[in-house]
Chain A
């Protein structure tokens, strides 16, 4: 029974992912659609960061916010993504001591 669930989940996850691969070269988008699609990564990043980051420690949303602020700071200094990630993990770790 679990196998049926896995197969079902795999199909409904895969189909939306692969459809664009088949159709994109058959379509010519207008300029505004191209700039819309070009802005999607930044919008997606925004939507993926907030409010999700508040639930890192669900009982204390402020910890996620502080960790995020540290990440913003480190990234603004031009540090590598790995350092940004490790810095944020350390911040949360210290705040939950």
Chain B
């Protein structure tokens, strides 16, 4: 588009990358807001104060585990129990972070550290499918802006959910529950169109996750699907990497 090239020429590369990062992170914002609102409502009902529930979003920044944490607080579970369950549920981010950091390995630690701290399922998925920016000048601004867009939406949404309560009609908030899944699909399909084997990797991971989820917790099942599904890529992507 003309505006984009004009933008790239007239503004500094850093500003250009920040803008691009915000635009790329926008779908995550759209997906996070309703979920964050729902989390805020639930956490309030679980007996957490507005400060506590917002602080949890600031410090933890991991949707599923915050829902679980709020539920367990409501049930009166112990600290150790909640912390261990959180670790299990979020350990998948280790695998995702290893994959993303391998792409960004040439970045300085002062960039890699904040980017890895802001890694969620969603920021990982979007970042890992936009690896071209990693090679461009000031690419680090792109990833950080993308993550901060998502982070900001998550915190503001939680806070608003806590103070406003159920403001979104139930049918709408229920429908918006598909937003992040649709975003994942919207990220995956363009890659599948380019390399059909990528779709095969995803389907294998789906199958493994589905089978594993019959007899283990959600956290472990996603890890198995991701790790073993990714392993199929070693054979499937042989030769046509990149």
Contact = CB atoms under 8 A, between A and B. Distances in A.
A41 B129 contact: yes
27 contacts: A1-B79, A3-B55, A6-B55, A8-B80, A9-B66, A9-B82, A18-B117, A20-B94, A20-B98, A21-B101, A22-B109, A24-B102, A35-B241, A38-B99, A39-B231, A44-B124, A46-B229, A47-B205, A51-B210, A53-B178, A71-B181, A74-B186, A75-B186, A88-B185, A92-B177, A93-B175, A97-B171
Given A35-B241, A37-B102, A44 B233 contact: no
A38 B237 contact: yes
A96 to B, nearest CB: 6
B37 interface: no
Given A19-B97, A22-B109, A44-B125, A49 B185 contact: yes
Contacts of A50: 206, 209-210
Interface residues of A, number: 70
B90 A16 contact: yes
Contacts of A53: 178, 181
Contacts of A91: 178
B181 A68 contact: yes
Interface residues of B, number: 98
Given A41-B96, A42-B233, 5 more contacts: A10-B60, A39-B236, A51-B210, A84-B185, A88-B185
A52 B98 CA distance: 23
Interface of B: 26-27, 30-31, 48, 52, 55-56, 59-62, 65-66, 69, 73, 79-80, 82-84, 86-87, 90-102, 105-106, 109, 112-113, 115-117, 119, 121, 124-125, 128-129, 171-172, 174-179, 181-191, 193, 198-199, 201-206, 208-210, 213, 221-222, 225-234, 236-238, 241
Given A39-B234, A71-B186, A6 B52 contact: yes
B73 A89 contact: no
A40 B185 contact: no
Contacts of B117: 14, 17-18
| Those 9 A-B pairs whose CB atoms lie nearest each other, nearest first | A39-B233, A46-B202, A43-B229, A47-B225, A46-B205, A75-B189, A88-B182, A16-B94, A41-B128
Contact of A81 (B69, B174, B187): B187
Contacts of B175: 89-90, 92-93, 96
A32 B179 contact: no
